[in-house]
A and B are shown apart, each in its own frame.
Chain A
Amino acid sequence: MASSWISALGGGALIGAAAVLLLLTHGRIAGISGVIGSLLPPVPSDRGWRVAFVGGLALAGALAGAFAPAAVGASVRSSTAVVIAGLLVGFGTRHGSGCTSGHGVCGVSRLSVRSLVAVATFMTTGAATAMIAGAS
């Protein structure tokens, strides 16, 4: 129990530090859905850093898959549910201009009213869905 609290806090601090570095080096919000969405057509002019950023994220995942597979948790839902979840996450994050990183970390830190509303909204619908899906 205590170790999961420490790793959550430490992991969160590392996420915050990475987001700060992206602000310092690129002047950008570290919003993962925005970075990925902006790589899809129509493609913007500055895609170099976006590809590298997502590539770095993927490299961390590939290394974990090879050397620390337990760190990548197993899915607890059916493939059908995962596909529906992916569709909703893709549509929703672009429609709502952000996800847990852009709104949840950067936006809340900057006291953005839009981000505070977005976080309150996705936490509420997320909790409701987890409870309904968990009960079935």
Chain B
Amino acid sequence: MSVALAGVIGVALGAGLLLSGMTAPAKVIGFLDVRGGWDPSLGLVMAGAIAVYAPLARWIQRARKAPWTDVAFHLPTRRDLDGKLVVGAAIFGVGWGLGGLCPGPGVVAAAAGRETGLLFVAAMLVGMLAQHGWVRR
């Protein structure tokens, strides 16, 4: 049950990414490039997602002691800021602005058979493994 639900949720998330325009690198770069001809529409993706998530997530956590398929919620509790967070986010932003893809849209583009999506995801997995090796060095 837990696995089937996660699969359906993954499909819904992928459909949302496709509909939103986040899977179109030219659109993402047109959003990040705020000079003349700026396309601000992708700002509404985050706005729409937060408008749904913020109130409902709050309500779920108040109304329930545990999720449907587990004995407890598994949510981040850290509140401290550290250099690792900022450096990591900065590096991610450079990659996002360069390729116009973030992880979810990368997976969607790769599964759609786009060569750039496949190249991006392969490189992303290498980057993730490299980060793991870096912090363990």
Taking Cβ atoms with an 8 Å cutoff, the residues of A that contact B are 1, 4-5, 7-30, 32-33, 36-37, 40-41, 48-62, 64-65, 68-69, 71-77, 79, 81-97, 99-101, 103-110, 112-114, 117-119, 121-131, 133-134
Which one of B34, B47, B87 contacts A127 once the chains associate, using CB atoms below 8 Å? Answer: B34
B residues neighboring A (CB under 8 Å):
2-27, 29, 32-35, 39, 41-54, 56-57, 60-61, 64, 66-70, 72-76, 78-81, 84-104, 106-117, 119-132, 134-135
> What is the CA–CA distance of A33 and B135 in the complex, to the nearest angstrom?
17
**Given contact pairs A37-B132, A90-B129, A92-B90, a sample of 11 additional A-B residue pairs in the complex whose CB atoms are under 8 Å apart:** A8-B42, A13-B16, A41-B129, A61-B109, A73-B109, A87-B123, A91-B127, A95-B92, A127-B93, A130-B29, A131-B34
Q: Are B98 and A95 in contact (CB under 8 A)?
A: no
Are B98 and A15 closer than 8 Å at their CB atoms?
no
Smallest CB separation, A3 vs chain B (Å): 10
Enumerate 9 A-B pairs (CB-CB under 8 Å) in ascending A order. Answer: A1-B41, A29-B76, A49-B69, A60-B12, A61-B14, A83-B119, A90-B130, A96-B87, A125-B93
Contact present for A74 and B26 (CB under 8 Å): yes
A65-B111, A118-B89 known; A59-B41 Cβ under 8 A: no
Asked whether A85 and B95 contact (CB < 8 A) given A96-B85, A121-B89, the answer is: yes
- A92–B123 alpha-carbon span in the complex (Å): 12
Q: How far is the CA of A126 from the CA of B91 in the complex (A)?
A: 9
Contact in complex: A15, B108 (CB < 8 Å): no
B116 → chain A closest CB, angstroms = 4
Interface of A is mostly: helix
CB-CB under 8 A from B19, the residues of chain A are 7, 10-11, 14, 71
Given contacts A71-B18, A117-B85, contact A81 B99 (CB under 8 A): yes
Return A42 CB to nearest CB of chain B, in Å: 8
Residues of B within 8 A of A64 (CB): 14, 18, 23, 108, 112
Determine the residue in chain B with the shortest Cβ distance to A70.
B24
- Contact check: which of A27, A41, A96, A112 meets B88 at CB < 8 Å? A96
